[in-house]
A and B are shown apart, each in its own frame.
Chain A
């Protein structure tokens, strides 16, 4: 039986070739993704694991590692008695109001720009400018605009007959609102661009059909525009909320959490505890809370995306 072995060797060779090419693919694959994997592991994965561990420790930067003490849940218990932490959580929650506000303004602008204006690209660029500008520079400009006695904003208000305009960022009752106004001003550009793209993806036939049925503008908006762009709205809502948890530059430059903790937020409190008070363990506990909140929102997004959104 001379033929059989030769067939066997042929399939063997083919198998070997296949294995070899498979191995080559695997090696190539790993070579391509290795730089990213190493970077992500060292800069994100390892630190986030370390954050969870350090949250159970009592340690200061300046001390040697021998002084590190394990304290169990003490840091987390401390959070509930920490007025500044509670205030930060409340402020973060209030700050979320900027998201729907920005979305409504952006949607109105987007509809107007998309359908009822000439020079579309001018408008896109104009409203997008704050978003790409340096937050530090913007914060400094607004700080002067909000100047209590001489700032242009209050001068204008006074010229309209308002005798005691708010002192904005130096007034505990208005400081958070001031920061929120600036945040909205910055975020409109991003929301606007995404909304315009969403509007342009709506098939024209839908509106033509509605026209034939004699639908008015409001009907067209509530029955066509709004449902069709709901995935866009949902995306903007989630990314917007997550973005409010990352607001740092504005607070750091404008208010440093003050006056009277009226603008402290989780990220600011974390920075304050870690890098100004050097409380590593306590700051890590705040970081864990921050992580869990953002993580939960992301998971909720994944679950609810399919259910709520009208594709």
Chain B
């Protein structure tokens, strides 16, 4: 009984800590629904006294810099990047774990070594290359930049290695080739890992600011992060609008995260513990 009381008390205290921790989000959400004059009122009005929800969000979504366009761009880039990255990583992961061929170890080492390269160290030549081959300022270029993930390959390889080789040998005796073993047997077994990686890749691509900033120029191609930054610059002191934009930029991710939270948290935990 005493122990339970203690546990309830810490839960209670920690609950308040978590609320304090999340206050920036609460403030953002509440400000996005206020009128401009009430933004800096003190004491803070957590629940707006004068509501301006519809007009704020209407301005963000269908105003001069319509977020629906940037949303579409972001969804397009994030979805295609995720799909492509999952396919490329899964293929490579299978090749590096379940196909016995010479040079396999060496090639894997090369792939792994590129993980040590901080992405910014190769930015300048990437930029020159993109200008030269015409991928600069295009969604395709942006998608390709995010589609070859060493992390994804490494992560999925760990899971493929967990599949017993007897499985694969049995399928081979039945006359199945590697493609069929990959597609019909191995991939379904590692589905949860694929889901985890896909959700993480989607979140990372959606949140990416640096690559769109450097590799996009045309306004109509902007992703949500660039649009967010531009919107802030243009609307300088219209804090309600800026917060409505921030809510719009964060919300879809929150939904993806809450839907797949188990996958995300397990994936992070697993990667972390294994190092």
Asked if B24 and A141 sit within 8 Å, CB to CB, the answer is yes
Task: Pick out which of these stretches binds chain A: B56-64, B188-196, B238-246.
Answer: B238-246
Asked if B8 and A118 sit within 8 Å, CB to CB, the answer is yes
> A137, A140, A274: which contacts B123 (Cβ < 8 A)?
A274
Q: Is the interface of A mostly helix, strand, loop or mixed?
A: helix
Asked if B21 and A127 sit within 8 Å, CB to CB, the answer is yes
Asked if A288 and B10 sit within 8 Å, CB to CB, the answer is no
Looking at the assembled complex, report how far the CB atom of B139 sits from the nearest CB atom of chain A, in whole angstroms: 16
Asked if A287 and B124 sit within 8 Å, CB to CB, the answer is yes
Asked if B99 and A270 sit within 8 Å, CB to CB, the answer is no
A271 contact set on B, CB distance < 8 A: 120, 123, 214
Q: Is the interface of B mostly helix, strand, loop or mixed?
A: helix
B243 contact set on A, CB distance < 8 A: 141, 144
> A29, A119, A145, A194: which contacts B11 (Cβ < 8 A)?
A119
Asked if A29 and B114 sit within 8 Å, CB to CB, the answer is no
Asked if B270 and A47 sit within 8 Å, CB to CB, the answer is no
Q: Does B161 contact A (CB under 8 A)?
A: no
Question: Quick one: which of B125-145 are within 8 Å of A by CB?
Answer: 125-129, 144-145
Q: Does A30 contact B (CB under 8 A)?
A: yes
Question: Quick one: which of A119-155 are within 8 Å of B by CB?
Answer: 119, 121-130, 132-138, 140-142, 144-145, 147, 150-152, 155
A248 contact set on B, CB distance < 8 A: 120, 209-210
Asked if A123 and B18 sit within 8 Å, CB to CB, the answer is yes
Q: Does B47 contact A (CB under 8 A)?
A: no
| Cα separation A252 to B119 with both chains bound (whole Å) | 16
Chain A 214-247 interface 0/1 with B at a Cβ cutoff of 8 Å (1 = within): 0000000000000000011001100000100110
Q: Does B153 contact A (CB under 8 A)?
A: yes
Give residues in B with beta carbon < 8 Å to A: 6-8, 10-11, 14-15, 17-18, 21-22, 24-25, 27-28, 31, 40, 42-44, 87-89, 91-92, 94-96, 99-104, 107, 110-111, 114, 116-129, 144-145, 147-148, 150, 153, 177-179, 182, 203, 206-207, 209-210, 213-214, 224-225, 228-229, 232, 239, 242-243, 245-247, 249-250, 253-254, 257-258, 261, 264-265, 268-270, 272-273, 275
Instruction: Please list 15 pairs of residues, one from A and one from B, whose beta carbons are closer than 8 Å in the complex, sorted by A's number.
Output: A29-B95, A36-B92, A37-B110, A40-B110, A40-B148, A129-B254, A134-B206, A134-B246, A137-B246, A144-B243, A150-B40, A155-B40, A185-B24, A196-B269, A290-B118
Asked if A125 and B121 sit within 8 Å, CB to CB, the answer is no
Asked if B124 and A274 sit within 8 Å, CB to CB, the answer is yes
Asked if A37 and B107 sit within 8 Å, CB to CB, the answer is yes
Q: A197-B273, A290-B121 are in contact. List 9 more A-B contacts (CB 8 A).
A: A25-B101, A28-B178, A28-B179, A37-B92, A128-B257, A134-B250, A141-B27, A274-B124, A294-B116
> B15, B102, B121, B270: which contacts A287 (Cβ < 8 A)?
B121
Considering only CB atoms and an 8 Å cut-off, how many residues of chain A contact the other chain?
Answer: 94
Chain A 158-201 interface 0/1 with B at a Cβ cutoff of 8 Å (1 = within): 01000000000000000000000000010010100110111001
Q: Does A79 contact B (CB under 8 A)?
A: no
> B94, B225, B273: which contacts A134 (Cβ < 8 A)?
B225
> B7, B110, B147: which contacts A116 (Cβ < 8 A)?
B7
B117 contact set on A, CB distance < 8 A: 44, 48, 291, 294
Q: Does A33 contact B (CB under 8 A)?
A: yes
Contact status of A29 and B99, CB under 8 A, knowing A140-B232, A141-B27, A232-B272: yes
What residue in chain B is nearest A25 (Cβ atoms)? B101
B110 contact set on A, CB distance < 8 A: 37, 40, 45
B213 contact set on A, CB distance < 8 A: 252
Asked if B242 and A144 sit within 8 Å, CB to CB, the answer is yes
Contact status of A275 and B18, CB under 8 A, knowing A118-B8, A137-B249, A140-B246: no
Q: Does A43 contact B (CB under 8 A)?
A: yes
A39 contact set on B, CB distance < 8 A: 88, 144, 147-148
> A28, A198, A201, A253: which contacts B229 (Cβ < 8 A)?
A253
Q: Does A112 contact B (CB under 8 A)?
A: yes
Contact status of A126 and B101, CB under 8 A, knowing A40-B150, A194-B268: no
Contact status of A141 and B253, CB under 8 A, knowing A44-B122, A134-B207, A287-B122: no
Q: Does A249 contact B (CB under 8 A)?
A: yes
Contact status of A36 and B40, CB under 8 A, knowing A51-B121, A134-B225, A287-B124: no
A198 contact set on B, CB distance < 8 A: 272-273
| Cα separation A158 to B83 with both chains bound (whole Å) | 51
A245 contact set on B, CB distance < 8 A: 118
Asked if A33 and B107 sit within 8 Å, CB to CB, the answer is yes
B89 contact set on A, CB distance < 8 A: 36
Asked if A117 and B11 sit within 8 Å, CB to CB, the answer is yes
Asked if A116 and B229 sit within 8 Å, CB to CB, the answer is no
A231 contact set on B, CB distance < 8 A: 275
Asked if B120 and A287 sit within 8 Å, CB to CB, the answer is yes
Looking at the assembled complex, report how far the CB atom of B252 sits from the nearest CB atom of chain A, in whole angstroms: 10
Interface centre among A40, A125, A267 (most CB of B within 10 A): A40
Q: Does A73 contact B (CB under 8 A)?
A: no
A50 contact set on B, CB distance < 8 A: 122, 124-125, 128-129
| Cα separation A152 to B147 with both chains bound (whole Å) | 41
Looking at the assembled complex, report how far the CB atom of A310 sits from the nearest CB atom of chain B, in whole angstroms: 14
| Cα separation A134 to B28 with both chains bound (whole Å) | 13
Q: Does A54 contact B (CB under 8 A)?
A: yes
